[in-house]
Amino acid sequence: MENFKKNIGINLKKIWNFEKSISEVYHVNNNAFDVLRFILASLVIVHHSYALLGLANSNYFVKFTNGQLDLGDFAVGSFFIISGFLVTQSLLNSKTFVEYFVKRFLRLFPALFMSLFLSAVLLGPIITNQSIREYLLGTQGTSPIKFIFLNFTLNIFGYDYRIRDLFAHNPYPYAVNGSVWTLKHEFASYVILAALSFFGMLKHRKLLLSFTGFVGGAYLAYIVKGTLLFGKITTGWWIFHSVEYPFFLKLLWLFMVGAVLFVYREYVFVSTK
């Protein structure tokens, strides 16, 4: 059976004139993913600058796709594909689910906490027009502690990206670290990937491919018909919030595309020219 699969790969290379498969060119400790993520993060900054400065969103991607895609969509989507690829590798290299989630926690939460702490506790008192006492202990607006708690717990207990009076008079008012909204979808994807692995879908790759197609089909149904598959599960809570759920379908699908690329890496061919 393995020889048959290898022969399929060899024949595909001859037919399509591809050079090497992902498994042949990808190295765990020597790859360009960090550079790609730096570029994508820079694109997110550029994309957000339009709204934060009160400018029309007329970046290149918007013009090129006739308003169907912008830099933010492209960057976030690419992030999730890369994440699906690398996190699947991490899961398969983990001896237990506990080890897997410990690695996910250490990868995500320390940096998130430092970002939130820097915004709320170190920079906030400098930017606010309130006194330090009012800023830390007052009742007007969202407190720094509540902001850190709600976002560090990935909005499970509610949403709030404001802190007191910070940026109240900006063109896009009150937004503090609004980009962290994607992290709940990222973490939910981690959990779903672990559940799929528990039920053997990473070993039986056709099941993983079928699940990915199912999620993609559900998102396509929303795009084309406005129909939310399992729409009745939408509530006011977390990723099942009626506003968040369509984004969750899209981002989960992109994450699963990355997972599929990893488990089928010996059959996906790339050109190094």
pLDDT of residue 16 exceeding 60: no
Token duo for residue 26: 């990808």
Helix (H, G, I), strand (E, B) or coil at 230: coil
pLDDT, tens only, 105-128: 999 999 999 999 999 999 999 999
Report the pLDDT value the prediction gives residue 22, as an integer from 0 to 100: 86
Report the pLDDT value the prediction gives residue 131, as an integer from 0 to 100: 93
Question: Residue holding tokens 């393995």?
Answer: 2
Token duo for residue 136: 């830390």
pLDDT of residue 254 exceeding 90: yes
Report the pLDDT value the prediction gives residue 21, as an integer from 0 to 100: 84
What share of the chain has pLDDT > 70, as a percent? 90
Alpha helices in 94-143 (DSSP H): 97-117, 124-127, 132-137
Distance CA(12)–CA(269), nearest Å, equals 9
Report the pLDDT value the prediction gives residue 118, as an integer from 0 to 100: 95
pLDDT, tens only, 202-248: 999 999 999 999 999 989 988 888 777 766 666 777 888 878 888 99
Average pLDDT, the chain: 88
- Other CB atoms within 10 Å distance of the CB of residue 169: 8
Question: Residue holding tokens 């939910």?
Answer: 188
Report the pLDDT value the prediction gives residue 11, as an integer from 0 to 100: 60
pLDDT, tens only, 60-74: 777 777 777 788 889
Distance CA(66)–CA(69), nearest Å, equals 8
Report the pLDDT value the prediction gives residue 24, as an integer from 0 to 100: 84
Instruction: Return the closest-CA partner of residue 46 out of 76, 1, 25.
Output: 76
pLDDT of residue 1 exceeding 70: no
Q: CB-based contacts of 148: which residues, under 8 Å, 6+ apart?
A: 113, 116, 117, 120, 121
Distance CA(3)–CA(250), nearest Å, equals 36
pLDDT of residue 10 exceeding 60: no
Residue type, 62: V
Question: Residue holding tokens 């990473």?
Answer: 202
Q: Are strands 20-21 and 269-270 parallel, antiparallel or unpaired?
A: antiparallel
- Lowest average pLDDT, out of 25-34, 131-140, 150-159, goes to 25-34
Report the pLDDT value the prediction gives residue 135, as an integer from 0 to 100: 94
Report the pLDDT value the prediction gives residue 23, as an integer from 0 to 100: 86
- Rounded to an integer, the average pLDDT of 173-202 is 94
In the chain, where do the E strands start and end?
20-21, 269-270
Residue 164's region, left for phi above 0, alpha for psi from -120 to 50, else beta, is left
Distance CA(194)–CA(88), nearest Å, equals 9
- Rounded to an integer, the average pLDDT of 74-102 is 96
pLDDT of residue 6 exceeding 60: no
- Rounded to an integer, the average pLDDT of 96-104 is 97
